[in-house]
Chains A and B, each alone.
Chain A
Amino acid sequence: MRAVVALGAALCLVAARAAAEAPPGNTIGYVFTDLFWSVYQTDGAEECPQGFNDGPREQFAARFPAPEKLSVEETRLAMEAATWHPSGAPHDFAFHEIESTYAYGLDLDGESGPNDFRHPDGSPGIDNEIYRAVGCIIGFRGPDGVEYIFQSKAIKDEAYNRMMINLTGVDSLENDDSITVTVYRGRDELLTDATGEAIMPGGTQRVDRRWGESLIRHTRGRIEDGVLITEPIDGLVIPWQNLQVPSVQRIRGARFELRLGQDGAEGLLAGYADVDTFYYQLIRNDSTHHLANGQISAISLYKALRRLADAYPDPETGEHTAISTALDVRMTRVHIVDEADDGRDDPGGSAFPVSGR
């Protein structure tokens, strides 16, 4: 027993030393493997005491009790039109927002107001109004909500949505008061185990300089007790592909808070999602069939997003265009390779690694 304890202590010491050591070339790269809107959930009773929201199927049945007496144009097409040309104006259907005081996320504005949540660890001032809007929609909840399932699956299945971060100037993964963080789009499939489900560290990702050039972002950050905290990035664009439909998400004032490890990183990506981009990503990626699977009434959700939007007011109308949010993010360590240093693929140029391992 004593030997086991001694061995455990020795391993902890080794791990601590590894974290404290600088990565090779003072650089380390990670690729996104999971990214989804952060939802604090119990069995629903705490945060959704009114129950879960109805979807298109339920709303259709309530709105058209005798659809056979109406034309397709008056029924199905009318609902499709309302989905694709949404309005923020109120309508007749009740919409259940989150009623819990708890949410995951970050304090984006440095203030603690009446609309803010409290983190389950007790921290006040959490800004996450997307959670307030989607938290009582089955499709956004794990473990089998349709959005939850497809989004996690899409990152593993597709290369379009390959995103990664590269940390440079890293003296220690435990504490470093100043590092550079670069966001890239990658070009390659993820390295998996045989099941295709577990992403293995040590894969290589080439930087996409052709289609991903405009997605590259730089910011500064610091590492405190193994947690990376970055400064905001204004205008982070995330390629988002789901059900084979390419799309994007735009996050303003985006920042990472990630626990770093030798093999991966895990934490939050928080900021303000552009409301229209969020909405059109959803309905482009999901037909009414998939929305119905998750009981997601796009029509009702758009009204909630408009109602709850809390940042970046339109200079002319004053209406908020963005809504606070947080995404759960998991990453796996990769070797990031930039194939050319002139910003373009150059077969004749010399390839050089961006991140060591």
Chain B
Amino acid sequence: MSKVTRRRFLRGVLNGGAVTVGLPLLNCFLNENGSALASGMPVPQRFGTWSWGLGMSEPVFVPKRTGRGFDLPEEIAALAPVQQHINLYTNFHVFRDDAPNLCHHSGWVVLRSGTAPMSRENRPGETLDVTIARKLGNATRFRSLSATATGDVRDSFSYEGGNSVNAPEWSPLRFYERLFGAGFQDPNAGSFTPDPKVMVRKSVLSAVREDAKALEKNLGAEDRARLDQYFTGLRDLERRFDLQLTRPEPREACVVVDPPPQLPAGLDADLVSRRHRMLGELMLMAVACDQTRVFNMFYASAFSATTRPGYDKPHHTATHEEAVDPALGYQPNTSWFTRRAMEEWAWFVEAMASFREGDGTLLDNTFVYATTDQSYAKIHAIEGIPMFSAGSAGGRVRTGLHLDGGGTPGCRLGLTAQRLMGVDIDSWGTKSNTTASEIGEILV
């Protein structure tokens, strides 16, 4: 083990900018327990979100039993293969206080930002993935990545501020090119050659920065503040250039896949599923290759227009127009759409669990936070809005549980997620969504 490590180090020093190491990726890059990289760095923690649209049919979604080994009613029966990896949270509330109930908007905004929006254009604060990305995302090429299976670039539950939505990748081929095209450094490649163009750009950037710093002494306070803002941007660029000029740590699960085919536009459920899985595989490979440690996967939008072959109403329309079947006690076609969403959620979790990483899987080192926009979409209800999590965040989270929130704020899960990812906050949310109470039952 030490021999392998030393060879890599020596070559790097001798060759300066161009390092060549002829080694395959082996478990020996990890420590004896497989719980840390051989360099002593812990296996990185990752955070992700997953989104589905239009809530649930409560009678066939919410399990009767809480705790471990909870029952899986028919609408979530597809989760059986991954039940041990997930937690289901029901009877948690989002509070809107004096804010209106904005259809298909208030629910997801509260769960992602902690604040009830006052208007449809209003996106208060920033979403928690952005907060977490500031913590986790500085050592990777992309601070965070987002992708949507809807094929619509407008579909995103991630924003930095009211006018700054993190646009998702919507085309598998475009996403592939962004991830594995120019700028990608394969962490498991036998050779590592820093891109000369990046070196030139960094050198130019450094010179510019030096010039700018020289100016600083002669500027007033306001201009110095502007210059500081400018430096912040430069530092971020430099950080990214540094990353591209540094040989990345090998990643066991990272395999550069072939480019995906181009998919037609459309929202047929089968097509959405294909797009979700193609984008999902790319996203998970980006995480496995340590291109990012924060990701957002979007299966369906709040106004989900996914269609079912042979049925004339898209998902959102069905939630409002379809009558509740008195015998079944729910809307059968609407439930069909939710079942498809649960199949995709199960696929995503299972896919994460299939990436080997040390003595565990990628999922073991990740915490995924899954939310929707309504509880009962037919009447735009948001009380009791369901949530999921997946993954054990490096063994710090218990999984396989169904938790009844007892009407407490749904923001408790967002707070728990942020603390797990190292965000140092006492509480999260505003007004009645404010909470300082983690969901302790899931913490080891």
Is the CB of A259 closer than 8 A to any CB of chain B?
Answer: no
Contact between chains at A194 and B97 (CB < 8 Å)? yes
Given the interface contacts A156-B101, A157-B101, A194-B432, does A144 sit within 8 Å of B379 by beta carbon? yes
Residue of B nearest to A293 (CB): B320
Is the CB of B240 closer than 8 A to any CB of chain A?
Answer: no
CA of A194 to CA of B99, assembled, Å: 10
Contact between chains at A195 and B100 (CB < 8 Å)? no
Q: How far is the CB of A178 from chain B (nearest CB, A)?
A: 37
CA of A146 to CA of B322, assembled, Å: 12
Give every chain B residue within 8 A of A57 (Cβ-Cβ): 312, 321
Give every chain A residue within 8 A of B152 (Cβ-Cβ): none
Is the CB of A22 closer than 8 A to any CB of chain B?
Answer: no
Contact between chains at B97 and A192 (CB < 8 Å)? yes
Given the interface contacts A156-B101, A189-B98, does A195 sit within 8 Å of B317 by beta carbon? no
Give every chain A residue within 8 A of B276 (Cβ-Cβ): none
Contact between chains at B93 and A292 (CB < 8 Å)? no
CA of A157 to CA of B383, assembled, Å: 16
Is the CB of B96 closer than 8 A to any CB of chain A?
Answer: yes
Give every chain A residue within 8 A of B321 (Cβ-Cβ): 57, 292-293, 295
Give every chain A residue within 8 A of B312 (Cβ-Cβ): 57
Encode A131-163 as 1/0 by CB contact (under 8 A) with B. 000000010000110100100010011100000
Give every chain A residue within 8 A of B95 (Cβ-Cβ): 194-196
Q: How far is the CB of A334 from chain B (nearest CB, A)?
A: 14
For chain B, residues 299 to 358, give those with C-beta under 8 angstroms from any C-beta of chain A. 312, 317, 320-321, 323-324
Contact between chains at A289 and B96 (CB < 8 Å)? no
CA of A339 to CA of B97, assembled, Å: 26
Between A57, A143, A196, A295, the greatest number of chain B beta carbons within 10 A of the residue's beta carbon is seen for A196
Of the four ranges (under 10, 10 to 19, 20 to 34, 35 or more), the interface on chain A belongs to 20 to 34
Q: Which of A144, A196, A295 contacts B96 (CB 8 A)?
A: A196
Give every chain B residue within 8 A of A157 (Cβ-Cβ): 100-102
CA of A195 to CA of B433, assembled, Å: 10
Contact between chains at B100 and A293 (CB < 8 Å)? no
CA of A127 to CA of B95, assembled, Å: 41
Contact between chains at B379 and A196 (CB < 8 Å)? no
Is the CB of B380 closer than 8 A to any CB of chain A?
Answer: yes
Q: How far is the CB of A290 from chain B (nearest CB, A)?
A: 8
Q: Which of B100, B116, B320 contacts A146 (CB 8 A)?
A: B320
Give every chain A residue within 8 A of B317 (Cβ-Cβ): 289, 292-293
Is the CB of B378 closer than 8 A to any CB of chain A?
Answer: yes
Q: How far is the CB of B321 from chain A (nearest CB, A)?
A: 5
Contact between chains at A149 and B379 (CB < 8 Å)? yes
Give every chain B residue within 8 A of A149 (Cβ-Cβ): 379-380
Contact between chains at B379 and A195 (CB < 8 Å)? no
Give every chain B residue within 8 A of A292 (Cβ-Cβ): 317, 321
Q: How far is the CB of B106 from chain A (nearest CB, A)?
A: 9
Given the interface contacts A144-B378, A153-B380, A293-B317, does A158 sit within 8 Å of B100 by beta carbon? yes
Give every chain A residue within 8 A of B324 (Cβ-Cβ): 144
CA of A295 to CA of B100, assembled, Å: 26
Between B99, B321, B383, the greatest number of chain A beta carbons within 10 A of the residue's beta carbon is seen for B321
Q: How far is the CB of A85 from chain B (nearest CB, A)?
A: 26
Give every chain B residue within 8 A of A196 (Cβ-Cβ): 95-101, 116
CA of A189 to CA of B116, assembled, Å: 15
Give every chain A residue within 8 A of B431 (Cβ-Cβ): 194
Give every chain B residue within 8 A of A195 (Cβ-Cβ): 93, 95-96, 383
Q: How far is the CB of A51 from chain B (nearest CB, A)?
A: 12
Contact between chains at A153 and B101 (CB < 8 Å)? yes
CA of A194 to CA of B432, assembled, Å: 6
Encode B229-247 as 1/0 by CB contact (under 8 A) with A. 0000000000000000000
* B residues in contact (CB < 8 Å) with A: 93, 95-102, 116, 312, 317, 320-321, 323-324, 378-380, 383, 431-432
* A residues in contact (CB < 8 Å) with B: 57, 138, 143-144, 146, 149, 153, 156-158, 189-192, 194-196, 289, 292-293, 295
**Would you give 10 A-B contacts (Cβ < 8 Å), ordered by A?**
A144-B379, A153-B101, A189-B98, A190-B98, A191-B98, A195-B93, A195-B383, A196-B96, A289-B317, A293-B320
Sample of 4 more A-B contacts, CB < 8 Å, known A195-B96, A196-B98, A293-B320: A146-B320, A149-B380, A196-B101, A293-B321
Closest 8 CB pairs of A and B: A157-B100, A194-B432, A196-B96, A293-B320, A194-B95, A293-B321, A144-B379, A149-B379
